[in-house]
């Protein structure tokens, strides 16, 4: 568990919360009155103590007291508040501790002198913190005398450029970064060790949002933070951090994945892409590429939400099936007409031929008999001046069915718009409120909502969309498409949904097995479409979505995988190749970690 950018009060709140649950702080950093901390739940952890906000004198007093009780410092951070040096420290009681030395309040020259003195005696730095007080760079450092220590190197007072050069040099020789810290002038101190084959990653020079985004990216690839250092460099918060992974993907497999994604994005001029994959009910991988906003340079991160267009239909279908389970409707219930689910709320009587014969199942199966782009008229992209109720009434009044309900498959966005109104009528709630409470929340999703129409209507963490071939992503009445195409989501949200309707036993489904079987049963008019889902004989279940400026896909495979991929543009055959891309990614990965990132 990691937290960053905390005030002293917030740090104490988080400290109390996680310690009560059996966690302890294992790494912390203090800077400009704010704190970053990593908590871990460890078996057989040594006795420990933590201190915060100590003056130099108070720190020395606590140091002396705790050392007399058998503790030793393992992490000491200096920082500035109110123009004076303060200290935060972690102590542990280690019966097998090697000989150690700790120093604080060192100038750069003092640090170098202590470094030379103790390393010549066989010690090495195991903790270092740089901080600046009234314009002077100071250091805390702990040296341990470790027998048979792996080879190590340390560098001090490096510019950002020099630090990067040293990083590249030593990483290229098989060393891994073990600690890094920076002064308020952006001067870096770092230590590398030549040890182990554990996968690791390091970043520096990140602002608060960049750090959080990188934290999330690496978390969703199986990495955990082991070191974080915050600094206020030239008046701006800046973070350097190290992550490692005990169980993660093979680097060669990830190179294949990245290459496949890069080719796809290049072929289709994709600004930004995000995907998530679950295996056997476990979220195992989320990766992001490119830009959420090209103009600002904002990179796609796991937090970013995309329009999902018709991937909304399986969600609406699941909500209808939940009403079915609640005995509020039957598949054979009529939708329009006296005594029907929506009665005569919409349109003017008498209805046109066969309208009163349309059932819930007809709309779910796309065989209501009309109102389809297949038949040259999709109401949802017309009459943009009308709200949903006005649109439904106008269509019922002006657009007769072209086929007998239940006889032919013709994909109808309008039909799913009507199903949204059925949900509202039977639940007594707004469509999105019912879906959130009955479908999304039980699946652990609290981040999805109905999107807006214009660029100015973009929601928090929503990407920007880019049209190609003259398409305008912001010319549509997206908000009116709620139940057939207006949700925005992250791929992780959609995978959370999938694993709760996947008809596997790995995680409890939100519908009963018999209800799932009914939902996934192929239609008599199109054996490749069920109730809101595309299906095949394998059986795999999926749905895609496409609107100007976006393409979406979510898939449940018969061999235990669930995935979703979202992009913020569309052109040509992007949908087919996006589907192929995800199968390429699946097949490129030879080893799947055992963790669950949900």
Q: How many Cα atoms sit within 13 Å of 561 on the Cβ side?
A: 19
Domain's final residue, options 227, 248, 269: 248
Same domain? 270 vs 244: no
- Within a domain: 598: no
- At 286 the three-state DSSP class reads strand
333 and 396 part of one domain = yes
230 and 267 share one domain: no
Q: Are residues 28 and 167 in the same domain?
A: yes
The pLDDT of residue 43: 86
> Is position 511 within any domain?
yes
**Residue 253 domain-assigned (yes or no):** no
Laid out side by side, the sheet with 124-133 consists of 100-107, 136-144, 124-133
The last residue of a domain, from among 216, 248, 280: 248
Nearest to 534 by CA among 288, 272, 311: 311
pLDDT at 118: 97
> Are both 386 and 446 inside the same structural domain?
yes
- Predicted pLDDT of residue 376: 79
Answer yes or no: are the C-beta atoms of 36 and 232 closer than 8 Å: no
DSSP state, 45? P
Same domain, 48 and 176: yes
Distance of CA 52 to the CA centre of its chain: 32
> Do 187 and 314 share a structural domain?
no
Asked whether residue 236 falls in the same domain as residue 265, the answer is: no
211 and 350 inside one domain: no
The Cα-based distances of 568 to 54, 176, 584 in angstroms read 49, 36, 21
Q: Are 93 and 46 in contact (CB under 8 A)?
A: yes
pLDDT score, position 287: 99
Does 255 reside within a domain?
no
What stretch of H or E contains 506?
A: none
Helices and strands of the chain, counted as H and E runs: 15, 25
Query: Does residue 281 share a domain with residue 227?
Result: no
Among 248, 270, 298, residue at a domain's last position: 248
CATH for 405 = 3.40.710.10
**Cβ–Cβ < 8 Å for 154, 141:** no
The verdict on 346 and 406 lying in the same domain is yes
Residue 231 and residue 265 in one domain: no
Answer yes or no: are the C-beta atoms of 317 and 533 closer than 8 Å.
yes
Looking at residue 525, its pLDDT comes to 98
Instruction: Name the pTM for this structure.
Output: 0.94
What confidence score (pLDDT) does residue 19 get? 94
CA distance 26 to 4: 14
Question: Which of helix, strand or coil describes residue 34?
Answer: strand
| Number of compact structural domains in the chain | 2
The predicted pLDDT at position 196 comes to: 75
Q: Is residue 256 part of a domain?
A: no
The number of CA neighbours under 13 Å toward the Cβ of 379 is 27
Q: Which residues contact 323 (CB under 8 A, 6 or more apart)?
A: 329, 422, 423, 426, 427
* Under 8 Å between Cβ of 407 and 364: no
pLDDT at 82: 83
Please check whether residue 596 lies inside any domain of the structure.
no
Quick check: is 595 in a domain?
A: no
Over the chain (598 residues), the average pLDDT of each successive run of 10 is 91 94 93 90 91 94 97 95 91 93 96 96 96 92 94 95 97 96 94 90 95 97 95 90 95 98 99 99 99 98 99 99 98 98 97 98 98 92 96 97 98 98 98 99 98 98 98 96 98 99 98 99 98 98 98 99 99 96 98 97
Beta bridge pairs of residue 73: 91
Q: Domain range holding 73?
A: 2-248
| 354 inside domain | yes
CA distance 326 to 468: 44
């Amino acid at each position: 568990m990691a937290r960053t950018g905390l005030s002293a009060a917030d740090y104490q709140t988080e400290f109390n919360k996680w310690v009560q649950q059996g966690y302890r702080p294992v790494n912390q950093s203090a800077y400009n009155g704010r704190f970053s901390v990593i908590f871990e739940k460890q078996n057989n952890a040594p006795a420990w103590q933590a201190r915060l906000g100590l003056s130099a004198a108070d720190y020395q007093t606590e140091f002396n007291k705790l050392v007399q009780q058998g503790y030793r410092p393992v992490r000491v951070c200096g920082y500035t508040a109110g123009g004076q040096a303060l200290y935060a420290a972690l102590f542990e009681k280690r019966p097998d501790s090697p000989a150690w030395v700790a120093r604080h309040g060192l100038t750069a020259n003092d640090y170098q002198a202590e470094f030379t003195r103790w390393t010549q005696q066989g010690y090495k730095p195991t903790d270092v913190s740089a901080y600046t007080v009234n314009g002077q760079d100071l250091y805390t450092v702990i040296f341990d005398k470790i027998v048979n220590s792996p080879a190590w190197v340390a560098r001090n007072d490096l510019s950002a450029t020099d630090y990067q050069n040293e990083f590249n040099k030593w990483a290229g020789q098989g060393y891994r970064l073990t600690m890094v810290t920076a002064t308020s002038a952006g001067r870096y101190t770092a230590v590398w060790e030549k040890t182990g084959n554990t996968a690791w990653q390091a970043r520096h020079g990140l602002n608060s949002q960049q750090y959080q985004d990188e934290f999330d990216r690496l978390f969703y690839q199986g990495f955990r933070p082991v070191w974080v250092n915050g600094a206020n460099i030239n008046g701006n918060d800046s973070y350097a951090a190290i992550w490692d992974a005990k169980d993660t993907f093979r680097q060669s497999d990830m190179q294949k994945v990245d290459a496949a994604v890069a080719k796809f994005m290049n072929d289709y001029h994709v600004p930004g892409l995000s995907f998530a994959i679950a295996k056997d009910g476990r979220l195992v991988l989320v990766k992001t590429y490119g830009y959420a906003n090209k103009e600002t340079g904002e990179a796609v991160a796991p937090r970013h939400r995309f329009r999902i267009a018709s991937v909304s239909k399986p969600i609406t279908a699941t909500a209808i099936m939940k009403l079915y389970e609640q005995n509020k409707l039957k598949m054979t219930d009529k939708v329009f007409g006296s005594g029907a689910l929506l009665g005569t709320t919409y349109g003017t009587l008498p209805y046109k031929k066969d309208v009163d014969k349309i059932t819930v199942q007809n709309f779910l199966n796309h065989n209501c008999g009309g109102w389809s782009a297949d038949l040259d008229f999709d109401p949802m992209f017309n009459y943009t001046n009308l709200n949903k109720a006005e649109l439904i009434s106008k269509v019922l009044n002006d657009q007769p069915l072209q086929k007998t309900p239940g006889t032919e498959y013709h994909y109808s966005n309008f039909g799913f718009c009507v199903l949204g109104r059925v949900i509202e009528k039977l639940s007594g709630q707004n469509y999105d409120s019912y879906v959130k409470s009955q479908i999304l929340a039980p699946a652990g999703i609290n981040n999805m909502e109905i999107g807006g129409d214009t660029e100015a209507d973009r929601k928090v963490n929503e990407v920007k969309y880019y049209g190609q071939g003259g398409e305008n992503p912001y010319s549509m009445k997206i908000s009116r498409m709620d139940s057939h195409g207006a949700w925005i989501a992250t791929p992780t949200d959609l995978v959370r949904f999938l694993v709760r309707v996947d008809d596997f036993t790995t995680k409890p489904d939100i519908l009963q097995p018999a209800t799932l079987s009914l939902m996934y049963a192929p239609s008599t008019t199109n054996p490749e479409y069920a109730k809101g889902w595309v299906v095949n004989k394998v059986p795999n279940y999926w749905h895609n979505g496409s609107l100007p400026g976006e393409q979406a896909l979510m898939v449940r495979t018969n061999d235990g995988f669930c995935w979703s991929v979202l992009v913020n543009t569309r052109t040509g055959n992007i949908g087919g190749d996006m589907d192929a891309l995800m199968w390429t990614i699946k097949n490129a990965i030879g080893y799947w970690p055992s963790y669950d990132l949900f």
